[in-house]
Structure 1
């Protein structure tokens, strides 16, 4: 069954309006949201995703709705893993707490645009070359192995090549100027550090998409569902950043749970590639009908089960280890004095030393 064109258009228009309204609200009143405010917004976006799945069920069928829920849960859980790096980026660039909402919002919009391009390219490749599932599946299994191998290692953020280039080419002010990205100083135009933060958040997320996009294509072949699942997963990420805060440290088994999910989807992709095989050096180019197909309802059940087990096990493991007196705030929000000459010089030295060592995403994802 094909998705109705009117439904796709209405969905894209609605999501665009929602994102622009969210951005306008943040830009109008820059502030650090309270726990109550963050909780309400996270509940709103989660509820919106659940309602969208029901609407998808009513407009199309149970298959598409289940694929959306499975894809959304997978993308959302992998996006939570992104928060660890977002925390480091905020501290790395010393972003004031009252500006972090807007920085995250714009960074997420940039990430959505880049992911959209990535999804279109992925869909075109999959439609033409079904054997690419062998590559996607092997990559996800490899990523899962690396997540287990490097579990528990301290994470650090190293600017990717694009960001390092921007810092060297653009004339940038020493301090943030509110949420402005362009200012005039002594008759000359300057960029502010906020532009680098926007680009760092957006491009770093794209590195994480290198495994999350193939993962969701292992659950659905419909680009519309892939994209909407990504949108709903990323829309509530900003509020989740403030809601979880230092509690991120308690999710000690999250990476292990994500590794299990990625490995499962990787194996599922390889099985599907075998089932639709056309490569001449495998079974003479014939389909291998004996390979079982994993139904989407089973995939959704396994994803939900793994996430619940990983979360509960993490909370039990870390019970009593983190107290309200733990000094988590500076790590989360980068409550460090704003950019000055010494801080900027130190940042340049660290960026220079990072040359040739690869990005954090490369090391973490394999």
Structure 2
């Protein structure tokens, strides 16, 4: 898809306006209700659908299909981010009324960092076609690793601060409590950061780890930087509302890791086939409509089996509690 500089500027300006409107609407710290989160989740999804349809009418069917495939993939992978966001919120004991501000700024930081990753990925792909082999192998390895982690009987996880966060805390200092929405305060004659600033940085920088698999994954569906960026933008911008909407349901998505591993493995194979094709080897390539069907199918099946498994687990726990009471 041939994208002019003007279109890039207009797109970034439009996304900036949406982010600004989102910030102004939620500028007052408050506890986000399920109703509010649901409404805004639908709004962001509708905006993404309208953008995809715009690509269909003003671009091409191929561009539209690539966007929807990329958006759905990034959205599903971003749900995995929410598990870590929950751990971060618990680690820093973020007050409930401040969590929406944390997520808004944290996701904005993540979007900027992903834009850098996307630009670097596009440049590498344009110069070295063999990088598809590396991307494909990495995604297949990540898929296998996800399955291993899902099958392992691990204890409850805790968030560990990365080296960058520890360095920032040591250099600038951190206040001993939250000060509303302030990012820094004067303490003992010295300006220090508030815990709010640290947790925002934690959300934004932790997303880099997720970008390591999500960016190669979407480049496996499209090599168009414009579509890669916009799909990531729409997937991330609705993540804050999704956090409050399905936060209580995350523990019920017990098969999510299996579903994501299948998707990543599938895209990894698609990348390897594409790399072989580019190298002159006559192998079949997986089309975008097929990719879209596989991704949606896996997500639907994973969600259904997760809810069934969670319901059975709840019934078993209820029966066990009843037996213990009767005993």
Which category describes the TM-score, using the shorter chain as reference length?
A: over 0.9
The answer (yes or no) to whether the contact 1:181–1:195 under 8 Å persists in 2 is yes
Answering whether residue 24 of structure 2 is matched by residue 24 of structure 1, we say: yes
1:246 CA displacement? 1.9
Q: Given the superposition, is the C-alpha separation of residues 322 and 33 from structure 1 closer, same or farther in structure 2, using an over 3 Å criterion?
A: farther
- Long gaps (5+) in structure 1: 278-286, 327-366
Structure 1 match to 2:291? 299
1:4 CA displacement? 4.6
User: Following the alignment from structure 1 to structure 2, what is the Cα–Cα distance between the partners of residues 164 and 48?
Assistant: 38
1:57 CA displacement? 0.6
User: Following the alignment from structure 2 to structure 1, what is the Cα–Cα distance between the partners of residues 187 and 288?
Assistant: 57
Structure 1 match to 2:193? 191
The answer (yes or no) to whether the contact 1:176–1:192 under 8 Å persists in 2 is yes
User: Following the alignment from structure 2 to structure 1, what is the Cα–Cα distance between the partners of residues 272 and 157?
Assistant: 31
Tell me the TM-score normalized by structure 1. Answer: 0.83
1:67 CA displacement? 0.1
RMSD over aligned Cα atoms: 1.5
Q: Given the superposition, is the C-alpha separation of residues 2 and 188 from structure 1 closer, same or farther in structure 2, using an over 3 Å criterion?
A: same
Question: Aligned runs of 1:116-265 on 2, under 5 Å?
Answer: 116-151=115-150, 153=154, 154-265=156-267
User: Following the alignment from structure 2 to structure 1, what is the Cα–Cα distance between the partners of residues 307 and 190?
Assistant: 53
| Residues 71-121 of structure 1: per-residue CA shift (max 9 Å, x gap) | 000000000000000000000011100000000000000000000001000
Tell me the TM-score normalized by structure 2. Answer: 0.93
1:228 CA displacement? 0.5
User: Following the alignment from structure 1 to structure 2, what is the Cα–Cα distance between the partners of residues 85 and 268?
Assistant: 28
The answer (yes or no) to whether the contact 1:3–1:60 under 8 Å persists in 2 is no
1:3 CA displacement? 3.0
User: Following the alignment from structure 1 to structure 2, what is the Cα–Cα distance between the partners of residues 220 and 70?
Assistant: 9
Q: Given the superposition, is the C-alpha separation of residues 61 and 229 from structure 1 closer, same or farther in structure 2, using an over 3 Å criterion?
A: same
Q: How many equivalent pairs are there?
A: 313
Q: Give 3-state SS (helix, strand or coil) of 1:265's partner.
A: helix
- Long gaps (5+) in structure 2: 319-327
Q: Give 3-state SS (helix, strand or coil) of 1:158's partner.
A: coil
Structure 2 match to 1:316? 308
Question: Aligned runs of 1:25-64 on 2, under 5 Å?
Answer: 25-27=25-27, 29-64=28-63
The answer (yes or no) to whether the contact 1:170–1:191 under 8 Å persists in 2 is yes
1:5 CA displacement? 4.3
The answer (yes or no) to whether the contact 2:92–2:199 under 8 Å persists in 1 is yes
Runs of 4+ in 1 over 4 A off after TM superposition: 320-323
User: Following the alignment from structure 2 to structure 1, what is the Cα–Cα distance between the partners of residues 46 and 18?
Assistant: 14
The answer (yes or no) to whether the contact 1:141–1:267 under 8 Å persists in 2 is yes
